[in-house]
Amino acid sequence: MNHAPTPPALRRPSPAIVAFFQARPDDLVENQTTAAGQPLPDAAALRRDRIFVARLWAKVARPRYASGRLSYRACWEWSAASDEKGYGRIKVARYSYAAHRVAFALRFGRWPLASKMILHSCDNPKCVNPWHLREGTAAENQADIDARGRRNIKKRANAEAGVERWRGGRISEACLRGGSDLTPAQAATIRARIEAEGEGSALLVALDFEISEERAKAIAARRSWAWVPSIAGAASSSASPRIQDDPGF
């Protein structure tokens, strides 16, 4: 009786091969333009352009060891023009590009894939050290922000910038408050009273200002109105909460 030969055991494909065949078409295509629609120069040609490469690294502070060797662990900080987020900018022909993306292209000889962005392992926008840069998705970028606690820092920075615009007369107090019925002075008084009298006083303070206890606790814990400083001696003030003079915050 003839038996069919046993087929050889199939090897499981590697994760990289699986990802290659499961990827969407744009995951396999190198970026051709920037987010602003500017055409990207040929990355391989940039690597061969010694004058451009020298011009780029002349704008970067690259730490060295005592022996004179470059430190690849340290950040290489951009020292020329930057955008409002702190990322360096460099001109190639007529267009301006993000310096860290150009540094990535110089190392790998290509631009990032169309579905990816460049992530910093050092969390330093000025850094253009190619060994601190990697490709990643938008979801990975958001996960990095949450893991490093940068989301709250950014919110606070935006709030502080808004306060400066308000103080300079470039933004209205109503816009800064975001529709809140409290004023900065009242929020500062609420925080100062709860800090002085203890968290158990939150309900009484909330009743005085006609707000909920949870909202009063959020103000005291700086989860709300974090940019407003407390008013010294506010706990001993006998003035009516709704008619206090604005101290000028």
Question: What pLDDT is recorded for position 79?
Answer: 92
- What is the per-residue pLDDT for 32? 60
Q: What is the pLDDT of residues 230-239, one digit of tens each?
A: 665 444 443 4
Say if pTM beats, i.e. exceeds, 0.75.
no
Consecutive 10-residue runs of the chain (249 residues): their mean pLDDT? 58 59 48 65 86 92 89 90 88 87 90 83 89 88 74 56 54 51 84 88 88 87 77 47 41
- Looking at residue 78, its pLDDT comes to 92
pLDDT of residue 35: 58
Beta strand pairing call for 117-120 and 60-61:
unpaired
Please, are residues 180 and 212 in contact by the beta-carbon 8 Å criterion?
Answer: no
Give, in order, the Cα–Cα distances in Å from 55 to each of 59, 159, 247.
7, 37, 52
Q: Which helix (H) or strand (E) covers residue 31, if one does?
A: none
The CB density around residue 62, as the number of other CB atoms within 10 Å, is 14
3-state helix, strand, coil in the chain (%, to 5): 45, 10, 45
Q: State the pLDDT at residue 163.
A: 54
Q: Which residues of 126-145 are buried (b: 16+ CB within 10 A; e: fewer)?
A: bbbbbebbeebeeeeeeeee
pLDDT at residue 77, as a whole number = 92
